[in-house]
Structure 1
């Protein structure tokens, strides 16, 4: 509002012949990015007003969080990090780009497997802009009364235009599934149309993020609405090593090889690696130890790999057999005995039973 009044004042001064003063005001306005003004408004506005609610249940259709600048850590492949920085710069310097006639809508869609950092990227972006994050769980936005869903959408998008924020549509495919499926009723197709219309009606300076694990399900018309797109892959070797270092942090024991952990965790998402580290650190804290145990990290990693591969390990014996098969170089009989608090004879019996049965003693999913 202050910027608008300043612009009107500059126009009036120019009409009155005070061109130098008008030019000074406009020059000053050009140096104040719109995102900074919005961030200041968001920082000083304690309540966010009445949040949009579902017209049927009266439950809120958005979750509000306030990511803090510098507190949200984000690790992405260098190419994605550069692309994300391009998006952030375009938001922060929108006025400058607008003056040059090269501005684009502040819209970014992220797609990729679960656990690859899409939600974390949304939180990081809101933190960098110092704006509240309004997360719309698209699967919960859909009302049991289908006609209510379009009205819910309208309320959310109207609210995002009134309050400085980052609007984040999570599980985007729940709303934006491709039209033309004969199993879809007409009302569901109208929801996609309503979504497209609401996106089109958004001012270009409204910051809109979306994320999906199933990009192949998105309607073809959705992609044209997003200027920036991030394909979030599973982490490669270098990124996995960085993730292990970040998530273990000060709890990393000196003999632990992060490179070896990165090699053994191929195919896992960043979220899965983080969970292994959290579990290992919790055990270290409860055992009053300053660092995680190397064996415990590899044990939990091996069990996570098993789950990721669809293996069901129902007993300690099946875990022992799986770990021995998964990483025999590390999980010797002595290491396994120490890890599970049993004798080496018991470990040897479990291994021999596996060999006799011709399998690992576990069940496939």
Structure 2
């Protein structure tokens, strides 16, 4: 009945000269069967997305569904990226207005940058802001060893994204969109990229498609032209690192802790790595029944994270002590290290001298 009334409205608008509005209504009416399928799924499983697409061979779901809420997803990005992201959101929220003016664009956003820079978190934030479920494509089940099955899996996913209001998120996008033509390419990979391009082209403009990759140089050239909005996600600068430390530590920040010093010493770390350090420090404080993190513990865990990022292999407490002393000698005095590891200053001194080549092998070690 609603479709019939909408059709009558489109006819009336066209007779009155509002052809653009009439065309928009008819375009939406063309997808009524898909909307009916969505309604049937909703009736079968109230409050959930039923009938998720599955791999034809393994019968496993090819998408994961999450429902991020505005309160649970916090996002910190450089101001330029925030502005671009708001522009994307505005284009989604005011699609009908932009379409009526003839300046609407497809709701497609690709994010690229190093791991841990907030690409997945940005996808969650967008879904939360739009109050839509997030459908994250599972490449491990989407990509099949069977000839042609991957393309069919893609078709099912894109069809499903048009049937239900959602945000479709293609994570690790380079697994599907690797550039064609290199010497290691095979026919099936080329067909997957072609199928991906065709599925993207077939999407209605208002379907929200997000993609993320850590390896933008691997993407096929034709892929870039399909995405109107692009976000290059950089590693956080000094100002953003300060904000990240303050946000992730939250109420656990002690008064004597210098967020500025943490930001300086964490140069080169991603936002995800900073969050992990904060989680580890807060976990230690909670288990020790302390209301706030200890400054020494935060810097110790930051130092160990920096060691891991630089490929340092610290297999013992002695190697940790030696690294921390070398990494931040002004903070990690012998007294601070002794208190942090619960050993005597003499043991700390022996460990430091041993690394410098002056230690006596007969001295008591820090381990």
* Shift in Å, 1:47: 2.5
TM-score (norm 1): 0.88
Structure 2 match to 1:323: 324
Contact 1:43 1:130 in 2 (8 A): no
Structure 1: distance between partners of 2:196 and 2:358: 56
Contact 1:139 1:175 in 2 (8 A): no
Structure 1: distance between partners of 2:163 and 2:9: 25
* Shift in Å, 1:251: 0.4
Structure 1 match to 2:313: 312
* Shift in Å, 1:170: 0.2
Distance 1:5 1:239, change over 3 A: farther
Query: Secondary structure of the equivalent of 2:136?
Result: strand
Query: Secondary structure of the equivalent of 1:110?
Result: strand
1:226 aligned to 2:233?
no
Structure 2 match to 1:91: 92
Structure 2 match to 1:170: 171
Structure 2 match to 1:179: 180
User: Residues 164-204 of structure 1, C-alpha deviation per residue, up to 9 Å, x if partnerless?
Assistant: 00000000000000001111211111111111011011111
Query: Secondary structure of the equivalent of 1:312?
Result: coil
Query: Secondary structure of the equivalent of 1:115?
Result: coil
1:345 aligned to 2:346?
yes
TM-score (norm 2): 0.88
Distance 1:209 1:14, change over 3 A: closer
Distance 1:255 1:129, change over 3 A: same
Contact 1:139 1:171 in 2 (8 A): no
* Shift in Å, 1:273: 0.1
Structure 1 match to 2:28: none
Query: Secondary structure of the equivalent of 1:134?
Result: strand
Give the stretch that moved more between structures: 141-150 or 112-121.
141-150
Query: Secondary structure of the equivalent of 2:235?
Result: coil
User: Residues 18-76 of structure 1, C-alpha deviation per residue, up to 9 Å, x if partnerless?
Assistant: x7xx9xx99xx9xxxxxxxx9xx999961312000000000000000001123210000
Q: Which runs of 5+ in 2 are unaligned?
A: 26-34, 360-367
Contact 1:161 1:206 in 2 (8 A): yes
* Shift in Å, 1:6: 5.4
Distance 1:234 1:5, change over 3 A: farther
Contact 1:110 1:232 in 2 (8 A): yes
* Aligned positions of 1:1-365 closer than 5 A: 7-11=6-10, 46-356=47-357
Query: Secondary structure of the equivalent of 1:204?
Result: coil
Contact 1:43 1:131 in 2 (8 A): no
Structure 2: distance between partners of 1:314 and 1:61: 40
Structure 2: distance between partners of 1:216 and 1:93: 33
Structure 2: distance between partners of 1:124 and 1:330: 37
Structure 2 match to 1:361: none
Contact 1:139 1:174 in 2 (8 A): no
User: Residues 67-125 of structure 1, C-alpha deviation per residue, up to 9 Å, x if partnerless?
Assistant: 11232100000000000000000000000000000000000000000000000000000
Query: Secondary structure of the equivalent of 1:311?
Result: coil
Distance 1:324 1:14, change over 3 A: closer
Query: Secondary structure of the equivalent of 2:168?
Result: strand
Query: Secondary structure of the equivalent of 2:60?
Result: coil
Distance 1:342 1:216, change over 3 A: same
Distance 1:56 1:43, change over 3 A: closer
* Shift in Å, 1:10: 2.7
- C-alpha RMSD over aligned residues: 2.3
Structure 2: distance between partners of 1:165 and 1:325: 50
Give the stretch that moved more between structures: 144-153 or 313-322.
144-153
Contact 1:108 1:230 in 2 (8 A): yes
Distance 1:14 1:308, change over 3 A: closer
Distance 1:285 1:105, change over 3 A: same
Structure 1: distance between partners of 2:303 and 2:50: 48
Distance 1:13 1:219, change over 3 A: closer
Structure 1: distance between partners of 2:132 and 2:59: 26
